[in-house]
Chains A and B, each alone.
Chain A
Amino acid sequence: MYEGVLQDLIDELARLPGVGPKGAQRIAFHLLAADPADVRRLAETMQEMKAKATFCQTCGNVSQAERCRICADPRRDPTSICVVEEPKDVVAIERTREFRGRYHVLGGAISPLAGIGPDQLRIRELMGRLADGEVTEVILAMDPNIEGDATAAYLSRLLRSMELSVTRLASGLPVGGDLEYADEVTLGRAFAGRRSTGD
């Protein structure tokens, strides 16, 4: 145990995700030795983020305004929506630069154990965006696990009756990987989702 304020900081830091007691101690000592101006900037940035960051009213992504940068960008394709679980999934897909449409962030996946059903996710908002018929393509980009699969299955049932192209991200082999090292489930999914090599 360290004295007073230092221990308080360690305790606070240790509550953060991904930070254990040792990591918390390291960060605290780093801050203790750091330039006061740097520490002040860090504290201010955190406060500013908390005060200003909000969620886009359209897609639910993290934003600084009522509409996020992507939703406000007129160059993005308005006919295509990619549905994801979390804001960090948007960032991951944006890095690929493959997708030029807009996003819809659900805020999680269906999980009765965690008390999350369709009503706890931003599904009603998604249906609202699809109502006017401008959107013609929906891409479901849920995590390939039990809860993600269930969410995607629920959404595709919901969207079945609409005049839409609904697709789910392919799951399979990692690029640069070796076939022989893939686990059976991944390889099995890659097999099931194989596609024609013809044009």
Chain B
Amino acid sequence: MHVSHLSLHDFRSYDTLELGLEPGVTSLLGRNGQGKTNVVEAVDYLSRLSSHRVSGDQPLVRQGAERAVVRAAVTREGRSATLEVEINPGRSNRARVNRAALPRARDLVGLVRTVVFAPDDLALVKGDPSERRRFADDLQVLLTPRYAGTRADYDRVLKQRSSLLRTARTRGGSAAQGMLATLEVWDERLAALGAEIMVTRAAAVEQLVPLLGKAYEAVARGARRDDAVVTYRPSFEIADLTVVADVEQALLAEVARRRQDEIDRGVTLVGPHRDDLLCTLGELPVKGYASHGEGWSFALALRLASYELLRQPGDDPILVLDDVFAELDATRREQLAELVAGAEQVLVTAAVADDVPEALRGRRLTVADGQVTPDG
């Protein structure tokens, strides 16, 4: 798929922007703070209804405006559709497809699929487990959009349950006993939704492994295919992550085992919100052992592998390379450029034109003062 036209209204720094795009490579060039990333962020927002840069929606709306609108004409296997999302911070967003309103904005998720390479991707392998959980969840939402609903429900249950534990701890005594009477009810919900999330994530990671090996080999020339491996690591011992009902039982048992600990500390200690993905090179974990360069290769390989996983016959996801070349050494730049050059649509942002490898020559646009113009 590719975006053939993008309209922004009150999105980030843009009052209005009308931008025609073409399949193949398009580079957005310009000094920092001119609004390059805002353009690609809008495309990414349309795909997942969340941004790779911020967690809330408020920063996406131009200062002083009430709402932002992102509209894109998307062509997929020769057929074109207009997708639109109206971003209302603090209230529910509204989405339209070909001008018809969708019952819920969430139904828009997955109609456009993007894979974003960003400068902070190194955090995927070297950062906190939350980065890797987010990677797994973002990927899963694009694979099965229904997953976004399960995630939202789980987060809600988690908030409610943790709030219960926290209040019980601060109150203490008989008041706490009364509050904890409802704890088992939340346990059941945590286990049911949590099991679904763990099984889905583990299955996605499983699918990713062979693609990751191949991608790592391509990015870091000379590495063996079985070098790079990612495994799903639950926060507690569990042998099998394939049957939801079994995982649910295991979660309930673990919750019961940690009961006192949870009450003492006032937090939910069991569940997929504490799981991690373990990235290993050879036998050693990337975090703490791999060099800076190896870390980057691994992060790029994770993105490339998810791109391959999301590909469908005749329908590539849109690739976004956001300011990523400045972070890479010359060899990795060329490798990456070669690997992605054939994709249906690649959107690149860079501050320095020379950072963009020759293989990604493509069409060049200059971004300055919120204006996007064809280069020279």
- Chain A residues near B (Cβ < 8 Å): 110-113, 115, 117-119, 146-147, 149-150, 153-154, 157, 183-185
From A119, A150, A184, give the contact of B185 (CB < 8 A).
A150
Residues of B347-372 contacting chain A, CB below 8 A: none
**Is B178 touching A111 in the complex (CB atoms < 8 A)?**
no
A119 touches B160 (CB 8 A): no
B residues adjacent to A (C-beta < 8 A) = 103-104, 107, 146, 149, 153, 156-157, 159-161, 163-164, 167, 178-179, 181-182, 184-186, 188-189
Beyond A111-B160, A112-B161, A150-B160, 17 additional pairs, beta carbon < 8 A: A110-B182, A110-B185, A112-B167, A113-B159, A115-B167, A119-B178, A146-B153, A146-B189, A147-B160, A149-B189, A150-B185, A150-B189, A154-B181, A154-B185, A183-B103, A183-B104, A183-B149
- Pick 12 A–B contacts, CB within 8 A, sort by A: A112-B164, A113-B160, A117-B179, A149-B189, A150-B182, A150-B186, A153-B185, A153-B189, A154-B181, A183-B104, A184-B146, A185-B149
Residues of A within 8 A of B104 (CB): 183
Query: When A and B form their complex, which 5 residue pairs have the shortest distance between CB atoms, in order from nearest?
Result: A112-B164, A112-B163, A184-B146, A153-B185, A154-B185
Q: Which residue of B lies closest to A146 (CB)?
A: B156
Query: When the two chains form their complex, are residues B107 and A183 in contact, meaning their CB atoms are under 8 A apart?
Result: yes
A184 and B167 alpha carbons, distance in the complex (Å): 35
Total inter-chain residue pairs, C-beta < 8 Å? 51
Q: Distance (Å) between the CB of B320 and the closest chain A CB? A: 28
A184–B163 Cα distance when bound, in Å, is: 29
Q: Which residue of B lies closest to A152 (CB)?
A: B185
- In the bound complex, CA of A157 to CA of B178 (Å): 15
State which of A110, A118, A183 has its C-beta within 8 Å of the C-beta of B178: A118
Q: Contacts of B185 on A, CB cut-off 8 Å?
A: 110, 150, 153-154, 157
- In the assembled complex, which residues on chain B have CB atoms less than 8 Å from the CB atom of A154? 181-182, 185
Classify the interface of chain B: helix, strand, loop or mixed.
helix
Residues of A within 8 A of B103 (CB): 183
CA distance A147 to B160 in the complex (A): 9
Q: State whether A157 touches B160 (Cβ < 8 A).
A: no
Q: List B contacts of A112 (CB < 8 A).
A: 160-161, 163-164, 167, 179, 182
Tell me the complex Cα distance, A113–B159, Å.
7
Closest CB in chain A relative to B208 CB, distance in Å: 24
**Which one of A111, A112, A119, A147 has the greatest number of beta carbons of chain B within 10 Å?**
A112
B157 touches A146 (CB 8 A): yes
Chain A residues, Cβ within 8 Å of B153: 146
* A150 CB to nearest chain B CB (Å): 5
Give complex CA distance A36, B188 in Å: 58
Which residues of the partner chain A approach B159 to less than 8 Å between Cβ atoms?
A: 113
- A154 and B156 CA atoms in complex are apart in Å by 17
Measured CB to CB, the nearest residue on chain B to A111 is: B160
Q: Are A146 and B160 in contact (CB under 8 A)?
A: yes
* B186: nearest chain-A partner, CB-CB: A150
Closest partner residue, chain A, to B164 (CB atom): A112
CB distance from A121 to the nearest CB of B (A): 10
Report chain A residues within 8 Å CB of B163.
112-113
CB distance from B256 to the nearest CB of A (A): 16
CA distance A127 to B159 in the complex (A): 29
> Measured between alpha carbons, how far is A185 from B153 in the docked complex, in Å?
11
Within the complex, the shortest CB–CB distance from A183 to chain B, in Å, comes to 7
Chain B residues near A111 (CB, 8 Å)?
A: 160
Q: Which residues of B contact A110 (CB under 8 A)?
A: 182, 185
Closest Cβ–Cβ distance, residue B196 to chain A (whole Å): 11
Q: In the complex, A110→B179 CA distance in Å?
A: 10
Report chain B residues within 8 Å CB of A149.
189
* Interfacial chain A residues near B107, Cβ < 8 Å: 183
Q: Which of chain A's residues has its CB closest to B160's CB?
A: A112
Q: Once the chains bind, are B181 and A118 in contact (CB under 8 Å)? A: yes
CA distance A115 to B182 in the complex (A): 13
**Distance A7 CA – B159 CA, assembled complex (angstroms):** 40
Contact partner of B184 (CB less than 8 A), chosen from A146, A147, A157, is A157
Bound-state CA distance A113–B186 (Å) is 13
Once A149-B189, A183-B104 are accepted as A-B contacts, the answer to whether A118 and B160 lie under 8 Å apart by CB is no
Q: How far is the CA of A112 from the CA of B149 in the complex (A)?
A: 21
Residue of A with least CB distance to B154: A146
Contacts of B156 in A (CB 8 A): 146
**Roughly how many angstroms separate A115 CA and B166 CA in the complex, as a whole number?**
11
Among A118, A153, A183, A185, contact of B188 (Cβ-Cβ < 8 Å): A153
> What is the chain B residue whose CB lies nearest that of A150?
B185
Q: Shortest Cβ distance from B113 into chain A, in angstroms?
A: 18
A residues less than 8 Å from B146 (CB atoms): 184-185
Tell me how far the C-beta of A124 lies from the nearest C-beta in chain B, rounded to whole angstroms: 11
Residues of A within 8 A of B157 (CB): 146
The residue from A117, A147, A184 contacting B149, defined by CB atoms under 8 A apart: A184
Nearest-neighbour CB distance to chain A for B180, whole angstroms, equals 9
Least distance between B139 CB and chain A CB atoms (Å): 19
Interface centre among A115, A146, A149, A183 (most CB of B within 10 A): A146
The smallest C-beta distance from B317 to any residue of chain A, in angstroms, reads 22
Q: Which residues of A contact B189 (CB under 8 A)?
A: 146, 149-150, 153
